Amino acid sequence: MKRARALFAWLALIAGLAFAAGEIGGLWGTNTQWRAPKDGVTIYVETNGFHTGFILPARAEGIDWHQLFPPTDLGDIRYHATGATDHVAISWGERDFYLNTPDWRELDPMTMARAAIGSDATLIHIYHMNRPQEGRYARRLVISHAAYRQLADRLMQDIAFPERGPLKAIPGYGGDDVFYAAHGRYSAVRSCNAWTGDHLRAIGVRIGAWTPAEHHVMRWFPEVSPRETAAPRVPD
């Protein structure tokens, strides 16, 4: 009993220290002199309340995400038509957690614990959407043309391209999303939210020094409008 209590005390201490470190890292700003350019590319930092990522124009700065992530990979054929969507949402995370947690009501503590310990099995999650709206779940951000190209280059480095042929799609949660194999090790230190923060920090945007949790990212991009992000529009 004493050993169990001692182990629990140590685990509680470690959890408390990790939480404190995350809060400090999330508040400790980097790139503090950054200002949005007057002329640039509009992207969005998006969240579902737990995961964060990016919403990017399907075509900008000579980069065509539809060519890399074809809408024909989607389960809903209404998205297959040219021009049906004009943006893609891109996020990264642990494979088992992604594929086995389609809804937060199905969250398995053991799945979360295994992901937190560390996993080299990761995925890129892609949503195709049309005309995203700024709001609770999507915060508008204008970055320079050079920063956008740098962000796109970094995101492409996270994709596990096959030696031959196109990327192999893994069915998503619905008709408008899909997964692809990714590079990178997921852990409690480098979570999906730390991934978002790492990319923003690398392109010079003001963000916390370490962003392991969703609110560590989103606090740097205050909600401007009370409107929630509109669901992706499906063509009639």
The predicted structure's pLDDT at residue 230: 46
Task: Write out pLDDT tens, residues 180-193.
Answer: 999 999 999 999 99
Task: Write out pLDDT tens, residues 46-65.
Answer: 999 989 999 999 999 999 99
Backbone angles phi, psi at 5, to 5 degrees: -65, -40
Angle at the Cα of 153 from the Cα atoms of 150 and 154, rounded to 5 degrees: 90
Mean pLDDT across the chain: 87
Return the bridge partners of 52, or none: 47
> What is the rounded distance in angstroms from the CA atom of residue 147 to the CA atom of residue 57?
14
Q: Does the pLDDT value for residue 233 go beyond 60?
A: no
The predicted structure's pLDDT at residue 115: 82
> What is the rounded distance in angstroms from the CA atom of residue 180 to the CA atom of residue 41?
25
The average pLDDT across 65-72 equals 97
Task: Write out pLDDT tens, residues 192-227.
Answer: 999 999 999 999 999 999 999 999 999 999 987 555
Q: Does the pLDDT value for residue 6 go beyond 90?
A: no
Q: Work out the burial of residue 32: count CB atoms within 10 Å of its CB; fewer than 13 is exposed, 13-18 middle, 19 or more buried.
A: exposed
> What is the rounded distance in angstroms from the CA atom of residue 125 to the CA atom of residue 53?
9
Q: Does the pLDDT value for residue 170 go beyond 80?
A: yes
Angle between helical axes of 192-202 and 145-157 (0-180°, round to 10):
140
**Other beta carbons within 10 Å of 6:** 10
DSSP alpha helices (H): ranges in 61-191? 65-68, 95-100, 109-117, 145-157
> What is the rounded distance in angstroms from the CA atom of residue 62 to the CA atom of residue 149?
9
